[in-house]
Chains A and B, each alone.
Chain A
Amino acid sequence: MIELILGKYNYWVYITLMMIGFYAMIEKENLIKKIIGMNIFQTAVFLFYISIAKVKGGTAPILWEKEGIPYDNPIPHVLILTAIVVSVSTTAVALALIIRIFKEYGTIEEDKILIMSEVSGKQDSTENSKFLSSTSLLQKGE
């Protein structure tokens, strides 16, 4: 049992981090906090990839003069480099969206936005002009 917990602690860390991120993505109302959760969620998977690359006693996967030195599997490292790029781009797109949401609605709290879009849905689902003025009022108020 102890072997299962301590011997594989990096996997437990990854599961815990993943669940923390997952919880934040689902539960948080604030759009930025959701994105923070998303980053934790993705980073957890990176940790998992790095963990499976580890070889016991292995060193960096570079050419050594001496033969027979064990080295870590470099492929997951390379894969995760790609996944990090994807994650960065996703975060960038998400943040850009949040900036535009804030400009249009004047808030980044999901419940407030929902109320606002319901109100606007009743009057007119897409006309912006009225609500642009109301959001600018909101922004002044804050």
Chain B
Amino acid sequence: MTLTESLPILVIIIPLISAIIIPLIGRIDKSIAFAFVISANFLSFIISISLLNTVMETGRISYWLGGWEPPWGIEYVVDYLSGFVLVIVSFIAFIISVYAKKSVEMEVEGEKILPFYSIYMLLVTGFMGMIITGDIFNLYVFIEISALAGYALIAIGKKRAALIASYNYLVLGTIGATFILLGIGYLYMATGTLNMADLRERLPMLYDSKVVLTAFAFITVGLSLKLALFPFHIWLPNVYNHAPSVVSALMAATSAKVIAYVLVRIMFSVFTMKFDLEVVPVTKILLFLSVIAIIAGSVLAIAQTNIKRMLAYSSIGQIGYIVLGIAISNQLSMTGSLIHLLNHALMKGTLFLVVGAVVYKTGMEDISSLKGMGKKMPFTMAAFTIGALSMIGVPLTVGFVSKWYLALGALKAGMWFLVFIILVSSLLNAVYFWRVIEGIYFHQKPKVRSQKSTTKDSIESLKPEIQNQDDAPVGMLIPTLILAGLCIVFGIAAFIPVSVVTPIVNMLLEV
């Protein structure tokens, strides 16, 4: 077997092996370990790109694990959809690993830095595995690998509230995962197979079966819990708020995207359009929930004073957008939804990286602490502004593109009120982001500090007021600016992601 044929497994093997090697290298020299993390992530990013490229040229790639022929063996599948999501996730993981060094040194205790990177790579392994696997039980295993790594990463920081956040996430996440496991059991009971492609062939004749309906219900509810779709969102704000900034950024930018991808896989690849529309009114339920998520997320975000928490609630709204497109399920809305996977990863990544830089410089994460930062950290704040404008959906940014497609999809489906919902939510977004942007550029830093520093060792904040330029270190600034730049690039050159997404939508909806 040549190297090119082994690329699908290498995407998983590289982060997995490096998770084991990092602590060993770290014993020799920590900086080598850090370089190793970056290069491992870069390598898997390059492999993802080459996989997507191969798929574009030759079509679906199937890798048989251990040489066992599917449906008996485990199959790894790269098609347009998984290739696309692989590139997004590996790119974000790479960018954030470049950014991580200083932020992690500040927010994580010294002896935990090496384990931090090790678990970081495990989290990436879990995400990559969830995307690439073509076996539904293997999917469960990877969901749990990423979830366990996630719990540990959230709790690794210095904040003690993170422990409770992580614990609650663990309990809810386990309920979700066990539901998925149960659903998989029901599917196996009905069909006797675990391979997704095989399930797709066998399931249509069993659509009347109550066993299949139960399986679908359990899997969808379990995934919604993991996705933090509206009524299941309670764990998310605390997690994003209290986790170390790097972890918040990684999870906000990729975790929900990967789960949304799995939901799309289950709904359109394992089951078919016909099942989603005719047998179970699942799209109607999801539509209802996503509309509530969009509005509630935005309204709750307005009420927040902590910037990470505000972004977390905004994430709940954005997850609503992704699910909304899936729920309308016509060609345009699906395009909007899938592009939003990329777009939201870029914008939320930018915003959380900026917040990480602010926490690094000032040790504070209140919205008021951003006042007057426009002069102090001009480049970082420029990135924040671009991210915020994208979230609002200003034309020429990525946020506009996905909202445009979602609105077009809603119109095509004859659901006028959804356009209204998208508009209202954009206005609400404008309210809570403008409040921050106004503070950044048009307010002076308050002379008397009302807030105390939020971390023990933030000596910065105790120094007398300085209005001189004091931007984030280059290592943090460049990744942030790259993501912010991509928000603009893909906003103007929207045809690039659209050209990738169109064949995916055609494949999913069988047009």
Contact = CB atoms under 8 A, between A and B. Distances in A.
Interface of A: 22, 25, 31, 34, 38, 41-42, 45, 48-49, 52, 75-76, 79, 82-83, 86, 89-90, 93-94, 97-98, 100-101, 104-105, 113, 117, 120-121, 124-129, 131
Contacts of A127: 452-456
A94 B175 CA distance: 13
B151 A97 contact: yes
Contacts of A42: 174, 178
Contact of A128 (B141, B160, B170, B174): B160
Contact of B152 (A83, A86, A93): A93
A117 to B, nearest CB: 6
A83 B148 CA distance: 13
A41 B167 CA distance: 17
Contact of B170 (A41, A94, A120): A94
Contact of A34 (B141, B171, B177, B454): B171
The 8 A-B pairs with the shortest beta carbon distances in the complex, nearest first, are A104-B160, A126-B454, A86-B144, A52-B189, A126-B159, A101-B163, A97-B167, A124-B452
Contacts of A52: 185, 188-189
Contact of A126 (B140, B151, B161, B174): B161
Contact of A101 (B140, B167, B171): B167
Interface string B160-195: 110110110011001101100110010011000010
A126 B148 contact: no
B158 interface: yes
6 contacts: A97-B166, A101-B160, A104-B163, A125-B159, A126-B454, A127-B454
B432 interface: no
A104 to B, nearest CB: 4
Contact of A83 (B151, B181, B194, B453): B181
Contacts of A89: 144, 148
Contact of A93 (B141, B148, B185): B148
B306 interface: yes
Nearest to B168: A110
Contacts of B189: 52
A129 B456 CA distance: 8
Main SS of the interface on chain B?
A: helix
Contacts of A79: 137, 188
A90 B454 contact: no
B163 to A, nearest CB: 5
Interface of B: 137, 140-141, 144, 148, 151-152, 155, 158-161, 163-164, 166-167, 170-171, 174-175, 177-178, 181-182, 185, 188-189, 194, 306, 452-456
B182 A48 contact: yes
Contact of B174 (A38, A82, A98, A113): A38
B234 to A, nearest CB: 12
A117 B181 contact: no
A93 B170 contact: yes
A94 B452 contact: no
A94 B453 CA distance: 30
Nearest to B364: A126
Contacts of B161: 117, 120-121, 125-126
A33 to B, nearest CB: 11
A124 B170 CA distance: 25
Contact of B182 (A25, A45, A129, A131): A45
B167 A98 contact: yes
Contacts of B141: 82, 86
Given A52-B189, A86-B144, A100 B178 contact: no
A131 B157 CA distance: 16
A126 B171 contact: no
Contact of A41 (B144, B164, B175): B175
A109 B389 CA distance: 43
Given A25-B175, A90-B170, A120-B161, 17 more contacts: A41-B178, A45-B178, A48-B185, A93-B148, A93-B152, A93-B170, A94-B171, A97-B151, A100-B155, A104-B163, A105-B160, A124-B454, A126-B161, A127-B453, A127-B454, A127-B455, A128-B456
A48 B179 CA distance: 12
Nearest to B151: A93
Contact of A45 (B148, B159, B170, B181): B181
